A = this chain, B = another copy of it.
Amino acid sequence: VCECFAVGNAFSESTAVHRIAPDRYRGAIPAGWDIAGNANGGVLLAIAARALLDATGRADPVTVTCHYLAPGRPGDVTIDVTVIKSGKSFATANAAMVDAEGRPIVQVLGACGDLAGAAGPDVVTGSAPDLPDPEDCVVRKPSDAFEIPFNSRIEMRLHPDDAGFAEGAKSGRALVRGWFRLPDDEPIDTVALLLAVDSFPPTIFNLDLPVAWTPTVELTVHVRARPVAGWLRCVFGTRFLTGGFLEEDGEVWDASGRLVAQSRQLALVPRAS
């Protein structure tokens, strides 16, 4: 399906983009990164973010907002970047991803910068989630209802208290905690953090609701620091499920105990079928 360049297995290869014209990029939604046929939303955002970074000449996606417009099926995509302002600290730009038929897949607005020199006072009242060691956490099993090829592309270990939903043992709390890393020791850069925040099962799988999926309307990620090597500690929670909407708030912490990303998405609760 992907004609313009070979797609490798690693995350960085699978989300690579090539400039084909000023501010126009070619990429591909990679096969095998899907949940029941549709690419994971973090993968789509990562592809768009790589185009944003290249076009703006910046190293890190500091704050990016992604609107999900159509499911991502494997195949070529084009990303058009519009740089709105290129300032001293940040470059702000839009990225519009369309598929081979020109159908909008995602639309991204982001500010890119350089987090290497980030400095300032630290006042932190939140803390990383308490997790059993990765070997004492739970590998998500394939669902009976649908296939999740995506789960073989990442390494995810769920907190045992949050992992029973697949066997019908829902915790009753809209909370999912766990570990995340990339296979084969692939380094996690700040683009991979955009993947991490959208990799875990929906929080409301742990509520007593007949919900099989929660389509994301919008996802915003604040990348707060470049992670050190090692497992990431992740926590996702929902406090307000109202009127057919829910927010899902995420935090990602690196092995040094530093908060490296915060995320919030607005998702929909589909009517029970």
A interface residues, Cβ below 8 angstroms from B: 62-63, 65, 67, 69-70, 84-85, 87, 89-90, 92, 94, 96, 104, 107-109, 111, 115, 118-126, 174, 204, 207, 209, 217-218, 220, 222, 224-225, 238-245, 247, 258-259, 262, 264, 266, 268-269, 271
Complex formed: what's the CA distance from A243 to B113 in Å?
A: 13
Given contacts A108-B109, A218-B222, A242-B258, 17 further A-B contacts (CB under 8 A): A63-B217, A65-B220, A69-B84, A94-B94, A107-B109, A111-B217, A120-B242, A120-B271, A121-B241, A123-B174, A123-B204, A123-B207, A124-B239, A124-B242, A125-B239, A222-B247, A240-B259
- The reply to whether B119 and A96 contact each other, CB–CB distance below 8 Å, is no
- The reply to whether A120 and B269 contact each other, CB–CB distance below 8 Å, is yes
Query: Which residue in B125, B244, B271 is a CB contact (below 8 Å) of A118?
Result: B244
How many of these chains are in the complex?
2
- The reply to whether A224 and B245 contact each other, CB–CB distance below 8 Å, is yes
- The reply to whether B245 and A111 contact each other, CB–CB distance below 8 Å, is no
**Closest chain B residue, CB of each to CB of A271:** B120
Complex formed: what's the CA distance from A249 to B135 in Å?
A: 34
**Closest chain B residue, CB of each to CB of A125:** B239
Query: Which residue in B94, B104, B240, B243 is a CB contact (below 8 Å) of A262?
Result: B240
- The reply to whether A241 and B63 contact each other, CB–CB distance below 8 Å, is no
- The reply to whether B241 and A119 contact each other, CB–CB distance below 8 Å, is no
Minimum distance in angstroms from A22 CB to a CB of chain B: 19
Chain B residues near A67 (CB-CB < 8 A): 63, 84, 92, 109, 111
**Closest chain B residue, CB of each to CB of A204:** B123
Most chain-B Cβ atoms within 10 A of its Cβ — which of A108, A264, A268? A264
- The reply to whether B225 and A247 contact each other, CB–CB distance below 8 Å, is no
- The reply to whether B220 and A242 contact each other, CB–CB distance below 8 Å, is no
Chain B residues near A124 (CB-CB < 8 A): 239-242
- The reply to whether A104 and B85 contact each other, CB–CB distance below 8 Å, is yes
Minimum distance in angstroms from A178 CB to a CB of chain B: 20
- The reply to whether A244 and B119 contact each other, CB–CB distance below 8 Å, is yes
Query: Which residue in B207, B243, B269 is a CB contact (below 8 Å) of A225?
Result: B243
Complex formed: what's the CA distance from A247 to B223 in Å?
A: 11
Query: Which residue in B84, B96, B264 is a CB contact (below 8 Å) of A107?
Result: B84
Query: Which residue in B65, B120, B247, B271 is a CB contact (below 8 Å) of A65?
Result: B65
Chain B residues near A238 (CB-CB < 8 A): 123
- The reply to whether A222 and B245 contact each other, CB–CB distance below 8 Å, is yes
Complex formed: what's the CA distance from A25 to B111 in Å?
A: 25
Minimum distance in angstroms from A124 CB to a CB of chain B: 6
